[in-house]
A = this chain, B = another copy of it.
Amino acid sequence: MAQRRIDLVLDSVKRLLRIGATANLLNLLQKQHPADLAQLFSELSDRDREAAFSILADRNGRLAMEAVSELGPEAGASLLGTRSAEDIARLAQEVPSDDAAALIDYLPEDLSTAVLDLMRPKESGVVENLLEYDEQTAGRIMNPNVFALSEDITVGEAISELQGSRDVEMVFYLYVVDERRHLVGVVSLRRLLLVSPETPLKRIMTSELISARVDTDQEEVARQVASYNLLAIPVVDPENKLVGIITVDDVIDVIKDEATEDILRLAGVSGDERVFSTPLDSLRLRFPWLAINLGTAFLAASVVALFERTISQLTILAVFMPIVAGMGGNAATQTLTVIVRGIALGELTWSNARKALFKEVIVGVGNGLATGIIAALVVWLFRGEPIIGALLGVAMVFNLFVAATAGTLIPLGLQAIKIDPALASTVFITTFTDVAGFASFLGLASLYLRLSGKVV
């Protein structure tokens, strides 16, 4: 729905809440798509959101819960947590078990235990099983309610089974299992329509199929679904028994989450933070990065301290030294980001790393020369200091070379030792360029002072 329509509905919801027109409000909310409701909820104030959710949850639990699922587990659980355990247990049974598990996982521990105790034994068992898989694995995000056909039936029998099934997710691929539920093949719904009803399913199924194991990392699942253009991927246990299905809409969520994590980490923000995390959470999540940065900043400052005498003789150095460091920092951020994204998209691997390094060094030195010459000219023309300008230019070329090398090798090195290369964030990489920038510029200047006989 376009933002304009959302805004109109939002205004009506606020107005109806204010005048207490519950019946009209319920009517309006019930006409919305769950995704639009989620958008509405996220734009309401805390009080209005809880009031609107409460009205909807009492009368149309399924729609309310679909909207909560669309909000994402963290925001969804925080909205759901405003209700009693009894209510939550009832509502949780309105959505597929994977969505319920994701929400319950984010509730405060007391509440989630109470909810699981109150749910119907079968339902809570399924949810508890899902919660036993590690976070960010296929097992955690799969829907265990998967439709499967026996390999020994005919196409006609398969169609009748399909007609009798309800509430199963995504029946576009039909998975085929043997008598012990081992995954043995797949057949598309369309293919069923193209052959006569007597054909044995075995004859038309494809037995080469791509599946994920319960412990496969969700990022790897997303990569497979995306690169093979799948609509869903079956999930099997270590014995190859079919235990669930992951559909492409879940994969889209994973792709978005992983991109968000990369973007945030590169900037020195925890991948868990969101724009409306509480101030206290954000403060706590960002402080360690800033503390590390403070440490590296003192490291860079101690390099400057080595040259305090040089600066006291030539104060103009203090004016231009931030330029060398800043340009290096920006160039390093450029290189780092291109490299980290290349790794994430699978375009950059060890086998072509040398090519990438070679390219980055050319780009770094090239841009170092271009900006260094401009900087030197500016200092010469506007400050009348040709020598200082030349020192600045040379230091910039050197520092952009360091930026290119560090920006390429550090994330590749982290990847090699299986640490997320996005953690080589700006915070760490700029340590190198700060130190190299200050050391080269001030070092060259003190060498110049010494050689020109201005200091002994």
Q: Using CB atoms and an 8 Å cutoff, list the residues of chain A in contact with chain B.
A: 3, 7, 10, 33, 35-36, 38-39, 42-43, 70, 159, 162-163, 171-172, 189-190, 193-194, 225-229, 231, 248-249, 251-253, 255-256, 259-260, 262-264, 266-269, 273-276, 278-279, 282-283, 286-287, 289-291, 293-294, 297-298, 300-302, 304-305, 308, 311-312, 315-323, 325-327, 329-331, 333-334, 336-342, 345-349, 351-352, 355-356, 359, 362-363, 366-367, 370-371, 374-375, 378, 426-427, 430, 434, 438
Contacts and interface: CB of A to CB of B under 8 A. Distances in A.
A431 to B, nearest CB: 10
B342 A322 contact: no
Nearest to A250: B229
Contacts of A333: 267-268, 426
B193 A190 contact: no
A229 B255 contact: no
Nearest to A329: B329
26 contacts: A35-B229, A43-B352, A163-B193, A171-B190, A189-B189, A193-B193, A226-B256, A262-B263, A263-B263, A266-B267, A266-B337, A267-B338, A268-B330, A269-B334, A273-B338, A274-B342, A276-B348, A276-B352, A278-B359, A283-B362, A287-B367, A290-B327, A293-B326, A294-B374, A297-B327, A308-B319
B35 A348 contact: no
Which of A7, A172, A325 gathers most chain B CB within 10 Å? A172
Contacts of A298: 323, 375, 378
A333 B269 CA distance: 9
Contact of A348 (B33, B275, B340): B275
Given A43-B349, A319-B305, A334-B267, A297 B326 contact: yes
Contacts of A289: 330, 334
Contacts of A301: 319-320, 322-323
Given A229-B249, A323-B297, A330-B427, A347 B267 contact: no
Contact of A341 (B172, B263, B279, B331): B263
Given A260-B341, A262-B263, A287-B370, A330 B293 contact: yes
